[in-house]
Amino acid sequence: MLEKLRRKMTASYENLLKEFSGLRTGRASVSILDNIMVEAYGSMVPLQQVGTVSAPEARLLTIQVWDSSLIKPTEVAIRNSSTGLSPMVDGQLIRIAVPELSEERRKEICKLAGKYAEQTKVAIRNVRREGMDDAKKQEKNKEITEDELKKLSDEIQKMTDEYVKKIDATLDVKEKEIMKV
């Protein structure tokens, strides 16, 4: 049972890391574009499925679009995304200059990172509650003793605290990275 809870908590934490990778810092990173969906061939597909995304310079991203009919939809998808980036089309290549972040924008991104971290903590606490409920059910059904319930509850709480600390530490590192000029 503890292993199942640990897997769920780990999945929540890994999801947070994925969310954080999409947050913009001072450098151009291809992960900024991870959540952008492009309308292609009648359905929405991730940007990475319409072209090759790369960061050839510290302040530049490029997308080599494979199908010329998808250049305009790709440009529109980037413009309409929450990244605040402005793509420039150059043949089948889309260039995105990554501007220096303003102090205000950095603070907004930090707030967003904090929101992601809080959502992850809520998810971790939900896993803890689920584990505690299961343990109480087992004790009620006489599958485990009262002492075993106490021990199991302590283990679940310890695991929860461990993940919450991990989330706080990761958030702290991400905020420093975002605020670094």
pLDDT of residue 57: 82
CA 104 centroid distance within chain:
21
Please state the CATH superfamily assignment of the domain spanning residues 2-21+102-179 in this structure.
Answer: Ribosome-recycling factor (1.10.132.20)
Domain boundaries, the chain: 2-21+102-179, 30-97
pLDDT band at residue 181, thresholds of 50, 70 and 90? Answer: low
Q: What is the pLDDT of residues 126-141, one digit of tens each?
A: 999 999 999 999 988 8
Q: What does the pLDDT look like over 85-117, one tens digit per residue?
A: 788 888 888 998 877 777 887 888 889 899 999
Residue 26 is predicted with a pLDDT of: 64
Write out pLDDT tens, residues 27-50: 677 777 877 888 888 888 888 888
pTM: 0.68
156: CB partners within 8 A, 6+ apart: 2, 5, 128, 131, 132, 135
Query: What pLDDT, on a 0 to 100 scale, did the predictor assign at position 7?
Result: 94
Question: In the numeric block, which tokens belong to residue 128?
Answer: 């803890």
Q: Do domains 2-21+102-179 and 30-97 have the same CATH topology?
A: no
Assigned architecture for domain 30-97: 2-Layer Sandwich (3.30)
Of the pLDDT bands very low, low, confident and very high (cuts 50, 70, 90), residue 2 is confident
Which one-letter amino acid corresponds to residue 112?
Answer: L
How many other C-beta atoms are found inside a 10 Å radius of the C-beta of residue 103? Answer: 9
Classify 56 as helix, strand or coil: strand
pLDDT above 70: residue 20: yes
Note the pLDDT tens digit of each residue in 139-160. 888 898 889 989 999 999 999 9
